[in-house]
Structure 1
Amino acid sequence: MRDRDEAGRPRNARPRDEYGRPLPRGAEGVPRVPDDYAPGPEEALEQARSLLADGRPFHAHEVLEARWKTGPDEERELWQGLAQICVGLTHLQRGNLSGAAALLTRGSARLGAYGSTRPFGLDLRALAVQADAITTAIDEGDADAGTAISAVRALLTPAAS
């Protein structure tokens, strides 16, 4: 049975390990992103970078997902694309290569739709190209989760103004 709030929406009450895998109820997991978390854009990017630095792309995805769900509608595709790339990294980290490739491809397509714009100082074109390069490495049997996570983390740093 899935945990639900008073409105019947699913909630993520089960503990998770550092890779985002669900643990048995009552087990001690790593700290989670609260269901009511509503970060601003800079906070979301900072938290996502920090979590990626710790090798926790699933948790970075949760932060980016919180922003996509609570931010303005016109930013939805941006945050959803970033979150999908982090979920792709999660699948890569867990060894689910087909899932990784699918999510990286979806995230890249969402970011690619922004063209050369740089919302919040992010080079979305470079992020999309990096996601595609990771997908190519997966297809060639040469993908390394740690290297991929580091590369995406570096590109989540806004360019200096």
Structure 2
Amino acid sequence: MSTSQSGDRDRDEEGRARNARPRDGLGRPLPYGTPGVDRQPEGVVRTPAETLAEAQDLLDAGRPFHAHEVFEDAWKSGPESERALWRALAQMAVGLTHAARGNARGGARLLRRGADVLAAWRGIAPASLDTEGLVRWARALAAQVDQGTPVDAAASAPRLRAAP
């Protein structure tokens, strides 16, 4: 996707607003011209297994904001019956993002919100997703964040699938 600055907003070839500012590993905008991390392409259709593998790689690299974008693609392109699942995972990734940025209140809230929705998927989620482990992880991290414990995104990354 190529973007150009038009007036005060970046736009893609179709004229849709797209922020082309570089971003750091936690998705924070950087000044134009500053090197940033590669952005996730938007609108990619992946299988559930591909979604989890790509998101896990991003989480392990300390890039939960970018993992959220992968989950968002699954939420928007997947079957209606799975949208709440992928949205919950996106919320948890954004919760980790906020926690790592120092926004304890927002981070804890999003972690709990995602965990509450994901709890309904125990045992029925696609691609061997470890819903029970993720719910425990999100609630435990939210409690740590509430206590003021600093969060390192990579060190705090969850395991999306249970170990075989």
TM-score after normalising by structure 1: 0.85
How far is 1:159 from its partner? 5.7
How far is 1:80 from its partner? 0.6
- Structure 1 residue identity aligned to 2:161: T
- Structure 1 residue identity aligned to 2:123: S
1:157 matched residue in structure 2: 161
2:113 matched residue in structure 1: 106
Q: Which runs of 5+ in 1 are unaligned?
A: none
Q: Which runs of 5+ in 2 are unaligned?
A: 1-7
- Change in Cα spacing, 1:40 to 1:116, as seen in structure 2 (3 Å) is closer
Q: CA RMSD in A?
A: 2.1
Does 1:137 pair with 2:144? yes
2:86 matched residue in structure 1: 79
How far is 1:112 from its partner? 1.3
Higher helix share: 1
1:44 matched residue in structure 2: 51
How far is 1:129 from its partner? 1.9
- Change in Cα spacing, 1:8 to 1:74, as seen in structure 2 (3 Å) is farther
What secondary structure is seen at the aligned counterpart in 1 of 2:30? coil
How far is 1:90 from its partner? 0.6
How far is 1:157 from its partner? 2.0
What secondary structure is seen at the aligned counterpart in 2 of 1:3? strand
- Kindly indicate whether the alpha-carbon contact (under 8 Å) linking 1:15 and 1:24 is maintained by their aligned counterparts in 2: yes
For the residues of structure 1 that align with 2:97 and 2:162, how far apart are their CA atoms?
22
How far is 1:8 from its partner? 6.3
Does 1:148 pair with 2:152? no
How far is 1:35 from its partner? 2.1
2:4 matched residue in structure 1: none
What secondary structure is seen at the aligned counterpart in 2 of 1:148? coil
What secondary structure is seen at the aligned counterpart in 1 of 2:26? coil
How far is 1:66 from its partner? 1.2
TM-score after normalising by structure 2: 0.83
- Larger gyration radius, structure 1 or structure 2: 2
Taking only the aligned residue pairs, the percentage that are identical comes to: 49
CA-to-partner distance for each residue in 1:136-158, whole Å, 9 max, x for gaps? 11222335334422xx1x2x025
What secondary structure is seen at the aligned counterpart in 2 of 1:117? coil
Higher strand share: 2
CA-to-partner distance for each residue in 1:7-61, whole Å, 9 max, x for gaps? 6654342221111101123332111111232222111111111111111111111
- Structure 1 residue identity aligned to 2:42: D
Question: Please, which of 119, 136, 139 is the counterpart of residue 126 of structure 2?
Answer: 119
For the residues of structure 2 that align with 1:2 and 1:95, how far apart are their CA atoms?
28
Between 102-111 and 119-128, report the one with greater CA deviation.
119-128
CA-to-partner distance for each residue in 1:73-129, whole Å, 9 max, x for gaps? 111011111111111111111111011111101111110122432322112122112
Instruction: Count how many residue pairs are aligned between Structure 1 and Structure 2.
Output: 156
Between 29-38 and 51-60, report the one with greater CA deviation.
29-38
